[in-house]
């Protein structure tokens, strides 16, 4: 019988984004224009409670128009097809939740922002889910799948 490791033990490491999907209440996939449907991303959680995240639209050759757009609820704002932030994190093992405090961010309005995410680790796969707002204002469930690379 395999015992599931607590999130505080399983999460630390380096993660590469596999997929990022936004789904509305009707179950429809909603495109996310600022980073596209298939961004490149790296997420790092160290054992001392620090994290770093970077996301980039794969094709940044065309302007996204996102510089003036507000960030979705419970989320940060990308600029020019790129988003990056870092800070500290704490884990609530009993609820499978991670709260991040952004110490630094590409978009100045995100500095000091606190976000809580539901996370699960199964083997070398990290799943993060959060409710946010799509570009058109509708609420969506964002699911990010990551694979451990370190």
The pLDDT of residue 64 is above 60: no
- Using only C-alpha atoms, what is the Rg of the chain? 15
Is 90 exceeded by the pLDDT of residue 36? no
Asked whether residue 100 is assigned to any structural domain, the reply reads: yes
- Structural domain range at position 58: 7-148
* pTM reported for the whole predicted model: 0.88
Number of domains present in the structure of the chain: 1
Q: Would 137 be classed as within a structural domain?
A: yes
Rounded CA separation 49/100 (Å): 9
Residue 1 domain flag: no
Query: What separation, in Å, do the N-terminal and C-terminal C-alpha atoms of the chain show?
Result: 26
Query: Per-residue confidence at 71, pLDDT binned at 50, 70, 90?
Result: low
Contacts of 113-121 with C-beta under 8 Å, sequence gap 24+, read 113/76, 115/74, 115/75, 119/7, 119/11, 120/7, 120/96, 121/5, 121/7, 121/10, 121/11
Q: Any idea what the CATH number is for the domain that residue 112 is in?
A: 2.40.128.280
| Residue 56, in any domain of the structure | yes
pLDDT at 93: 96
Q: Within a domain: residue 2?
A: no
- Taking a C-beta distance cutoff of 8 angstroms, is the pair 34, 65 a contact? no
Query: What percent of the chain is predicted at pLDDT more than 70?
Result: 89
Q: What is the mean pLDDT of residues 86-112?
A: 95
Examine the pLDDT at 25 and tell me if it is beyond 80.
yes
Name residues whose C-beta falls within 8 Å of residue 48's C-beta, 6 or more positions apart in sequence.
Answer: none
pLDDT of 45:
98
119 has a pLDDT exceeding 50: yes
126 pLDDT higher than 80? yes
Buried (b) or exposed (e) across 8-41, using 16+ Cβ within 10 A?
eebbbbebebeebebeeeeeeebebbbbbeebeb
pLDDT band at 74 (very low <50, low <70, confident <90, very high): low
């Amino acid at each position: 019988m395999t015992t599931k490791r607590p999130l505080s033990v399983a999460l630390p490491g380096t993660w590469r984004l596999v997929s990022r999907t936004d789904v509305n209440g009707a179950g429809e996939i909603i495109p996310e224009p600022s980073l596209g449907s298939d961004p490149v991303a790296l997420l790092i959680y160290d054992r001392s409670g620090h994290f770093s995240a970077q996301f980039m639209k794969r094709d940044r050759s065309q302007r996204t128009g996102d510089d003036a757009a507000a960030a979705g609820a419970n989320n940060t704002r990308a600029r020019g097809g790129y988003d990056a932030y870092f800070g500290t994190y704490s884990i609530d093992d009993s609820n499978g939740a991670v709260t991040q405090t952004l110490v630094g961010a590409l978009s100045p309005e995100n500095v000091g922002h606190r976000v809580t995410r539901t996370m699960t680790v199964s083997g070398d796969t990290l799943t993060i889910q959060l409710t946010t707002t799509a570009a058109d204002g509708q609420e969506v469930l964002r699911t990010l799948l990551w694979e451990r690379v370190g």
